[in-house]
Structure formats: C-alpha cells, structure tokens
C-alpha cells in the first residue's frame, strides 16, 4: 500500500552565466534540447526484471500545461518507471490520448465529469500486460481508476485516487467504496498485490490503508 510521495528532482542545466566560446556552441545547444525534449524522442534500455515494479506518483496540476507532458516523459524514461500514477490531469473528452502519449507506455485515464480540473491517469510500460479493472457499482463521483497489471505471473492492482479538497461526496462514502473494490478484487485474485496511490489532500491516508488491510485479511 502506497500513499503520497515526492519524486526526486532531476537536475537540468538551462544556461550558463559566462559567455560561450566558439568551441562550446554545440554543448549549449544540447543543453537547451534537454529542456524541450520531444515526448517520443527518448529511448532508454530497460530491464525485464520488473517485480516489484517501480512506481512514480505525481500531482501534475494539469498535464495540459505547456511542456508538462515533455517533462513527464523525461522523468518516466530517465528513471525507467514501470507504472506512473498521475493526479489532477485536467483532461477532458476534448483531449485525445494521442496528445498525451509517451513512447513505450500505455495510457489509462479517468477524467473528472461535470466540473473543471481533477482527473487521474496511469501510465504502464508496454512490456507489462495491463487492463482497466472496474468495480461493480462503479460511480463517476469518485476519481478512482483501477488498472490490473500482470507482472511475473502475479496480479498487481494499481488504484489511482484523487480526493479533492472539496468533494461532492462524504469521505465515509469513499471509504466504503474503496473497501468494496478491495473485497471484489481479492475474490478475483486472492494473492494480488494492491497499490493505492495518489493525492488524498486532507484525507487521512492511514484510514484508507487500514480499510484495505481489513479487506485483505
């Protein structure tokens, strides 16, 4: 069970204080390319040893911002991430998957409906088999996306959750729904690994953890 975490910062050189000599022109050009990296231009050798999977969690505060998807691409490829959980994507129906695709990954998303902002997404590296898993009685009021990932003959259920500061539901209702989801996925795969990650804001993450542990016991 994982809750909020902060990825380590990637140092990027954006310029120099002193004037460039003629021999430094090529180096400076390469440094600038790092800042404006194309989302499909990087290729990083990956290990097939994927368990436990590497997990990346980010509140993007809109992947629709200028260069946001390029920065996310650099992080995922640079750190060789297997699964990325992104909250507050701000994606809507008008945003096609192709605009936010990352080379080597499959995008799964659950957009907020009826209000601005919000939304969650999960990126899974292509060499892992993954499908969206839906709990019976699924409600769009919860920004919770489950993705079932098969890793080394074991199921891993990744729950991407965004609990906004001012939800339209009672926190207790979300707890009941998460417990219901974990109960159902446990029936389908009793030995599965369950990862619940995202941005819970003021919600006590330890309560969610206790609910999941209770459901799995």
**What pLDDT is stored for residue 50 in this prediction?**
64
Alpha helices in 36-151 (DSSP H): 68-78
Alpha-carbon span 212 to 206, nearest angstrom: 10
Provide the residue-wise pLDDT of the chain in tens; the chain has 217 residues.
444 444 444 443 333 344 444 444 333 333 333 333 344 444 444 555 567 899 999 999 999 999 999 999 999 999 999 999 999 999 999 999 999 999 999 999 999 998 999 999 999 999 999 999 999 989 999 999 999 999 988 999 999 999 999 999 999 999 999 999 999 999 999 999 999 999 999 887 777 777 677 666 6
Beta strands in 60-207 (DSSP E): 83-87, 105-110, 120-125, 129-133, 143-151, 154-162, 193-199
pLDDT at 208: 74
Determine the Cα angle at 96 with ends 167 and 148, to 5°: 65
pLDDT at 27: 35
CA distance 40 to 182: 35
Per-residue model confidence (pLDDT) at position 206 = 77
User: In sequence order, what are the beta bridge partners of 86?
Assistant: 58, 121
Contacts of the segment 184-193: beta carbons below 8 A, 24+ positions apart = 184/135, 184/136, 185/133, 185/135, 185/146, 185/148, 185/157, 186/215, 186/216, 189/155, 189/157, 191/154, 191/155, 192/154, 192/155, 192/156, 192/157, 193/52, 193/154, 193/155, 193/156, 193/157
pLDDT for residue 217 = 64
pLDDT score, position 111: 97
Give the span between the Cα atoms of 176 and 149, in whole angstroms: 24
| Termini Cα distance of the chain | 14
38: tokens are: 């194309």
Q: For position 34, what pLDDT does the model report?
A: 36
Domain 49-216 class in CATH = alpha beta
Q: Which segments within 33-82 are labelled E, that is strand?
A: 55-59
């Amino acid at each position: 069970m994982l809750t909020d975490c902060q990825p380590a910062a990637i140092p990027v050189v954006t310029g120099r204080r002193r004037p460039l000599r003629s021999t430094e022109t090529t180096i400076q050009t390469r440094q600038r390319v790092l800042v404006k990296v194309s989302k499909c231009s990087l290729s990083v050798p990956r290990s097939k040893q994927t368990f436990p999977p590497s997990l990346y969690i980010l509140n993007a505060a809109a992947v629709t911002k200028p260069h946001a998807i390029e920065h996310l691409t650099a992080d995922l490829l640079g750190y060789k991430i297997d699964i990325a959980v992104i909250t507050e994507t701000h994606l809507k129906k008008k945003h096609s998957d192709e605009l936010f695709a990352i080379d080597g990954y499959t995008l799964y998303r659950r957009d907020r409906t009826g209000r601005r902002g919000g939304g969650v997404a999960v990126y899974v590296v292509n060499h892992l088999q993954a499908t969206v898993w839906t709990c019976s009685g699924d409600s769009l009021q919860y920004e919770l996306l489950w993705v079932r990932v098969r890793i080394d003959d074991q199921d891993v259920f990744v729950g991407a959750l965004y609990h906004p500061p001012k939800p339209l539901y009672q926190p207790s209702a979300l707890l009941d729904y998460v417990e219901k989801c974990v109960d159902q996925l446990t029936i389908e795969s009793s030995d599965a690994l369950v990862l619940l990650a995202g941005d819970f804001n003021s919600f006590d993450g330890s309560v969610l953890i206790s609910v999941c542990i209770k459901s799995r016991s």
